[in-house]
Amino acid sequence: MPKGSNQKFKLYRLAQIMQEQTDDEHYITMPEIMEGLAKYDVTADRKSVYNDLRDLSVLGIDVEGEPVGNRYHYHVVNRAFELPELKLLLDAIQSSKFITEKKSNALIKKLETLVSKYDAQKLQRQVFVSGRIKTMNESIYYTVDAIHSAISENKKIKFQYYQWNVKKEMELRHNGAWYHISPWGLSWDDENYYLVGYDSDAGQIKHYRVDKMLHIKLSSERREGKEHFKKLDMADYAKKSFGMFGGKEQSVKLLVKNSLAGVIIDRFGKNVMLIPADEEHFTVNVNVHVSRQFLGWVFSLGKDIKIVGPEDVVKQMKSEVKRLINQYG
């Protein structure tokens, strides 16, 4: 049998055919495999294909053959990702605000290459990227990579930071000044990605929306602030900061109706202590950065929750209520 012009790609093309055209519900016969190879100008006899199917296991591609009538039907089993797992990843990508629409579609296309063409069609049926609120900063992926590199190399970074103005234009903050920050971690909160780092000039930990960072560069200076981050739990930091807005950290006592126990546990974790106050209420002490966002969260839960201490936080809430009454009265 004369060899085809692409014979050296035989194993690669065989892997491609098996991964694209077969899954747990779709099979392919030996004549169909040979026909598929021929389309790529690869010739093969049955014996060599049998051997090649076994060799695919070296590449991590397991193929099983099952007798159906007088023929064997072959398909790929034990893929790296099951379809439900890919659906979870797809949902995470398309619902993530910090991933642009263009990048979301590109990542979803890559996910589709991990399954057969039939399962790829199932994935496509649940793609709804267009019309979602997405960041417009296409460089965010390179920003995240640069931050990881700086952390790995123990270097400071410098960048510019922007905000939107009323004309819907990107506007550099502080007249385009460069921020010099020691990066120590990345945190995910309220559908946004944040850099958590140490500002040497201010002498404190600060956080920045990653999608609002521009022109990031690695500095030659070594990071500072290690002593502050030794005692910082990144997950705990995000939990205390409502919407990642800053504020003085305080222990706040709340009186809460029993029906909101799930809301408290979802926000502060199962380790918080819920102390019964009466048959319908409990009290809980939570460590938070007291800000308008925290007060707004309490306010949004209505009459079923009340700040009972400390007194200065109660006064802040009363002041905020008065401000709202004056604003809308």
**Averaged pLDDT for residues 135-156:** 87
Provide the CATH number for the domain around residue 162: 2.30.30
Give 98's pLDDT tier (boundaries 50, 70, 90). Answer: confident
- Asked if the model's pLDDT at residue 132 lies above 90, the reply is no
Question: Do 103 and 46 fall into the same domain?
Answer: no
Is residue 114 domain-resident?
Answer: yes
Residues 6+ apart with CB under 8 A from 197: 157, 181, 182, 183, 184, 185, 205, 206, 207, 208, 225
Q: DSSP secondary-structure letter at 132?
A: S
Domain, as residue range, for 310: 242-328
Question: Do 227 and 148 fall into the same domain?
Answer: yes
Span 60-73, pLDDT tens digits: 899 999 998 888 99
pLDDT for residue 190: 67
CA–CA distance, 316 with 224 (Å, rounded to integer): 34
**Averaged pLDDT for residues 163-168:** 77
| Beta-carbon count within 10 A of 256 CB | 22
pLDDT for residue 234: 65
Span 235-293, pLDDT tens digits: 666 655 555 456 678 899 999 999 999 888 878 888 889 999 999 999 999 988 888 88
Q: How many domains does the chain contain in total?
A: 4
pLDDT for residue 103: 87
Percent of the chain whose predicted confidence (pLDDT) is above 90: 46
Is residue 236 domain-resident?
Answer: no
- Asked if the model's pLDDT at residue 19 lies above 90, the reply is yes
Provide the CATH number for the domain around residue 20: 1.10.10.10
Question: Do 117 and 157 fall into the same domain?
Answer: no
Average pLDDT for the chain: 86
pLDDT for residue 139: 80
Are 27 and 74 spatial neighbours (Cβ–Cβ below 8 Å)? yes
Is residue 197 domain-resident?
Answer: yes
- Helices 46-55 and 10-21 pack at an angle, to 10 degrees, of 80
Q: Which residues pair with 254 in a beta bridge?
A: 284, 307
Span 26-79, pLDDT tens digits: 999 999 999 999 999 988 888 999 999 999 988 889 999 999 888 899 999 989
Is residue 132 domain-resident?
Answer: no
pLDDT for residue 37: 93
pLDDT for residue 22: 93
Percent of the chain whose predicted confidence (pLDDT) is above 70: 89
pLDDT for residue 245: 55
Are 181 and 129 spatial neighbours (Cβ–Cβ below 8 Å)? no
How is residue 261 written in tokens?
Answer: 């126990």
Question: Do 103 and 155 fall into the same domain?
Answer: no
CA–CA distance, 253 with 284 (Å, rounded to integer): 6
Is residue 237 domain-resident?
Answer: no
Give 222's pLDDT tier (boundaries 50, 70, 90). Answer: very high
Question: Do 324 and 249 fall into the same domain?
Answer: yes
pLDDT for residue 243: 53
pTM of this prediction? 0.60
Is residue 36 domain-resident?
Answer: yes
| Beta-carbon count within 10 A of 40 CB | 17
Provide the CATH number for the domain around residue 282: 3.30.70
Are 172 and 161 spatial neighbours (Cβ–Cβ below 8 Å)? yes
Is residue 46 domain-resident?
Answer: yes
Give 134's pLDDT tier (boundaries 50, 70, 90). Answer: low
The residue among 161, 162, 146, 138 whose CA lies nearest residue 219 is: 146
More confident residue, 192 or 262: 262
DSSP 174-239: GGGPPEEEEEEEEEEETTEEEEEEEETTTTEEEEEEGGGEEEEEEEEEEP--HHHHHT--HHHHHH
